[in-house]
Amino acid sequence: MKDSQPSFLLVDGNNIIHAWADLLELHQQKKGLAHQALIRHLKEYGDFTGDRVVVVFDGRGRTVTDEREPGGLQIFYTSSSLTADDVIERLALKYGKTYQITVATNDIPEQDLVVSAGGVAISAERLRELVEKARSQMTDWLEKRRKRQDDTR
């Protein structure tokens, strides 16, 4: 059970893409495909769990860009002078005392910094487990709802 403090899941997008074999394969075909697939997974996760999800990708532009998907998923593309690690670390340090911060990355120094800021660090594999569990629970919930509707007819 979550306490009343809002929670955020910060995801190092490129790190996760390179850690998940299916996303890496998409990335090797065309970079944007892997980004879209990861965003879809994270949106479903956030929709089901209620967690606020922020994914950060390394960018190439002059400034950091911030996009918001319907339903609350927030997407950052860093500037060419910053890495996703830089942005995630700044967010974790800035908001770690106010919010429950969980960062998903396999980058050990980034994990250490997040933990020292009071957050929680999870691996890419643990993120995969959480996403799959949420998807399974959502599927079960939908099936039960359909069954109840069928039973009332």
> Side-chain half-sphere of 29: how many Cα atoms within 13 Å?
12
Cβ neighbors of 34 (< 8 A, separation 6 or more) are 17, 23, 24, 26, 27
Asked which of 34-43, 62-71, 87-96, 134-143 is least confident by mean pLDDT, the reply is 62-71
Residue 69's pLDDT is what? 65
**Domain locations along the chain:** 7-151
- Structure confidence by residue, pLDDT tens digits, 50-79: 889 999 999 877 666 767 766 679 999 998
What's the rounded mean pLDDT across residues 134-152? 83
CATH 3.40.50 for domain 7-151: yes
Q: Is 2's pLDDT higher than 50?
A: no
C-alpha closest to that of 17 among 128, 119, 116: 128
- ∠ CA 65-70-75, nearest 5°, is 25
Confidence of residue 18 (pLDDT cuts 50, 70, 90): very high
Side chain identity at residue 100, one-letter code:
Q
Residue 43's pLDDT is what? 93
Q: Is 1's pLDDT higher than 50?
A: no
Neighbouring CB atoms inside 10 A of 72's CB total 14
